[in-house]
C-alpha cells in the first residue's frame, strides 16, 4: 500500500497522546478483542497490543493507506502473539469493516480523532497552514472525494460561510467567504499559502494580533468538511456501541470542542434510562441505559505530557463502559 509520495511510509513519527490513560481506560485483558478505529502509525495500538497477549485480537482501521502500511510494519516487527487485522476504510462504515474482520463482538474501542503528525507534515497533503502544498486535505487521498480546492471553488458563499462558522467557529466567516468568492472569480486558489494570504487579508489587522495563525480555524473547517468528520464520528460511535461486548469499554480522544460535543452527547444519550416525556405520569418507554460513564468529566493530559507533546494540550479523553447484557 502506498500513498502519493512516500514520506509517510518511510518515517511515520507520531507521539501517541495520553497512552497510559488510554490503556487504563480500556481495562485491557489478555485474549480480548480490541479495535483501534484510528490506527495512524500504531502508537496507541502497539501500547494496547502488549496488554492483550497472548491470544488477543487487534483490529486497526485507518482511511489513510500510508498510515496502515506504517502501522502494519511496526506491529509486525514487534512479533506479538496476537491476531492483527488491519482494515482500510472509514470508521463511518464500522459495521461493514467489523463484519470483514469476522469478530463476534469487541471488548474495547479506541478513537483518537483528527489527523496525525505525518499527515500534517507531509508536503503534498495540504493539511497544514504552515506548509506550501496543494489544497487537498483528504485523509484518504486515493479516494475520489472532494478536495479542499474543490470545496473552495464550487461551494457558494452561504455554504462556505456556514462551513467556516460551524466547523471552524470562525468569527470572520462571512468576510472570509466573500474574499474567497471574489478571489476565485479572478484566478483559481490552488495552494495553502494562497489561502493563508487570503485569510490574512480578510481578517482585520487588530483581530489578527492574538490567537496564533489566523488561518488555523479556516484550515480546521475545510478539513472537517472535506473528510465529513462530524458525520463519520456520529456513525462510528453509534456502531461501536452496538458492537461492544457487555462490560466493554469505549475511549475517545478529541481535540476540539465540536468533536468533544458529539462524543459527550452520544455517551449521554446512551447512558439515559427512561426517555418518556417529563410530564408522563409513569414510564412507558422501557428504555434502558446501554452505557455508563467511567469518568464523568473528560480526562486531560498531564502537565508533563503537554510540555513534551504540545498536541496533547487540547486533548480530552472520554471513557464509558457498556452496561446490560446485550
Ligand atoms: C490522530 S491520528 C491517530 C494516531 C494513532 N493513534 C497513533 O498513535 O499513531 C488519526 C488517524 O485516524 C485516521 N482517521 C481519521 N478519521 C478517520 C475515519 N473517519 N476513518 C478512518 N480513519 C480515520 C487518520 O487518517 C489518522 O491516521
Closest-lying ligand 1 atom to the alpha carbon of residue 36: 6
| 9 or 237: which leads in pLDDT | 237
Integer CA distances (angstroms), 134 to 1, 39, 116, 150, in order = 22, 25, 18, 11
Q: Say how many Å lie between the CA of residue 88 and the centre of ligand 1.
A: 11
Q: How many CB atoms lie within 10 A of CB 247?
A: 14
Q: Is the CB of 139 under 6 A from ligand 1?
A: yes
> What mean pLDDT do residues 68-76 have?
95
- CATH class belonging to 144-227: mainly alpha
Percent of the residues in the chain that have a pLDDT greater than 70, as a whole number: 96
Which residue's C-alpha cell is 502519493? 4
Mind listing the pLDDT tens digit for each residue in 157-200? 999 999 999 999 999 999 999 999 999 999 999 999 999 999 99
> What mean pLDDT do residues 75-90 have?
96
Q: Say how many Å lie between the CA of residue 38 and the centre of ligand 1.
A: 4
**DSSP structural state of residue 191:** B
Confirm if 63 and 141 have CB atoms less than 8 A apart: no
Q: How many helices (H) and strands (E) does the chain have?
A: 14, 7
Mind listing the pLDDT tens digit for each residue in 254-288? 999 999 999 999 999 999 988 888 889 888 988 88
Say which CATH superfamily domain 7-118+229-322 falls into. Vaccinia Virus protein VP39 (3.40.50.150)
Nearest residue to 195 (alpha-carbon basis) of 225, 229, 221, 171: 221
Which pTM does this prediction carry?
0.92
Q: Say how many Å lie between the CA of residue 42 and the centre of ligand 1.
A: 10
For every residue of 107-137, DSSP letters joined together read EEEEEE-S--HHHHH-TTT---TTS--BS--
pLDDT at 10 over 50: no
Q: Is the CB of 118 under 6 A from ligand 1?
A: no
Domain parsing of the chain, residue ranges:
7-118+229-322, 144-227
Q: Pull the grid cell for residue 11.
A: 518515517
Closest-lying ligand 1 atom to the alpha carbon of residue 15: 8
Q: Say how many Å lie between the CA of residue 325 and the centre of ligand 1.
A: 30
Amino acid at each position: 500500500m502506498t500513498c502519493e509520495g512516500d514520506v509517510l511510509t518511510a518515517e511515520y513519527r507520531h507521539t501517541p497522546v495520553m497512552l497510559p490513560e488510554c490503556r487504563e481506560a480500556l481495562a485491557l485483558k489478555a485474549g480480548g478483542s480490541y479495535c483501534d478505529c484510528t490506527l495512524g502509525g500504531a502508537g496507541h495500538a502497539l501500547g494496547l497490543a502488549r496488554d492483550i497477549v497472548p491470544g488477543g485480537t487487534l483490529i486497526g482501521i485507518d482511511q489513510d493507506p500510508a498510515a496502515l502500511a506504517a502501522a502494519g510494519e511496526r506491529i509486525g516487527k514487534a512479533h506479538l502473539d496476537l491476531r492483527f487485522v488491519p482494515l482500510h476504510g472509514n470508521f463511518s462504515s464500522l459495521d461493514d469493516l467489523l463484519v470483514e474482520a469476522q469478530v463476534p463482538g469487541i471488548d474495547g474501542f479506541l478513537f483518537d480523532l483528527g489527523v496525525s503528525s505525518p499527515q500534517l507534515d507531509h508536503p503534498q497533503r495540504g493539511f497544514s497552514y504552515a506548509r506550501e502544498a496543494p489544497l487537498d486535505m483528504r485523509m484518504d487521498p486515493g479516494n475520489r472525494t472532494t478536495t479542499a480546492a474543490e470545496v473552495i471553488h464550487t461551494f457558494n458563499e452561504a455554504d462556505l460561510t456556514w462551513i467556516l462558522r460551524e466547523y471552524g467557529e470562525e468569527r470572520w466567516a462571512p468576510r472570509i467567504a466573500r474574499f474567497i468568492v471574489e478571489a476565485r472569480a479572478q484566478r483559481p486558489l490552488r495552494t495553502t499559502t494562497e489561502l493563508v494570504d487570503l485569510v490574512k487579508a480578510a481578517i482585520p489587522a487588530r483581530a489578527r494580533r492574538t490567537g496564533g495563525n489566523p488561518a488555523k480555524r479556516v484550515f480546521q473547517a475545510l478539513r472537517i468538511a472535506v473528510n465529513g468528520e462530524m458525520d463519520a464520528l456520529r456513525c462510528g460511535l453509534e456502531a461501536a456501541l452496538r458492537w461492544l461486548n457487555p462490560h466493554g469499554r469505549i475511549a475517545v480522544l478529541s481535540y476540539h470542542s465540536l468533536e468533544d460535543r458529539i462524543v459527550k452527547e452520544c455517551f449521554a444519550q446512551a447512558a439515559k434510562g427512561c426517555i418518556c416525556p417529563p410530564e408522563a405520569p409513569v414510564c412507558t418507554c422501557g428504555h434502558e441505559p446501554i452505557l455508563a460513564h467511567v469518568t464523568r468529566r473528560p480526562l486531560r493530559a498531564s502537565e508533563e505530557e503537554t510540555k513534551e507533546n504540545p498536541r496533547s494540550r487540547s486533548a480530552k479523553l472520554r471513557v464509558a463502559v457498556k452496561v446490560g447484557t446485550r
